Amino acid sequence: MAISTKTTKVFYSDLRSDLAVNPATDDVMVNTNEAAIEQSIKNLLQTNFYERLFQPTVGSNIRSLLFELATPQTSYNLKEAVFEVIENYEPRCQIIDVIVENDIDRHSLNVYIEYRAINIDGIRSFNTVLSRVR
């Protein structure tokens, strides 16, 4: 949801994924601006194809890449999949760079994402850990 303010900056807000309740107002709390974008990106990265009802193409094939051998080709494929899913389904930001590091000891991948939010000054970055769960 985008709300335009007087300074022509865009204010983004989404419901928090844990549906936490504000104790003072008993309303569901929201994430705003960069936190909303980062939560959306994390949700997209963890969504596989055909998981969303009536939207079977939303998501990516990242989960299957987590079970591949830890090779440079797998890291490259994961990087391309991250770029693709964010470019296709997150219009509020522009991806600048994605760095994928294998953490062989923990059987996971560390993904560092650098992005620029549309109509918000500055470059932001965050990281997320993608791990294999069976």
Residue 6 belongs to some domain of the structure: no
Boundaries of domain holding 56: 34-131
Between the alpha carbon of residue 132 and those of residues 66, 80, 90, 108, the distances in Å are 6, 19, 24, 6
Residue 15 belongs to some domain of the structure: no
Q: How confident is the model at residue 9 (pLDDT cuts 50, 70, 90)?
A: low
Radius of gyration of the chain (CA): 16
Question: pLDDT tens-digit profile of 12-64?
Answer: 778 888 878 888 888 888 887 888 889 989 989 988 888 888 988 898 888 88
pLDDT(8) > 60: no
Q: How confident is the model at residue 10 (pLDDT cuts 50, 70, 90)?
A: low
Question: pLDDT tens-digit profile of 60-94?
Answer: 888 888 888 888 898 999 999 999 999 999 998 99
Supply the CATH number for residue 114's domain: 3.10.450.40
Residue 29 belongs to some domain of the structure: no
Q: How many domains does the chain have?
A: 1
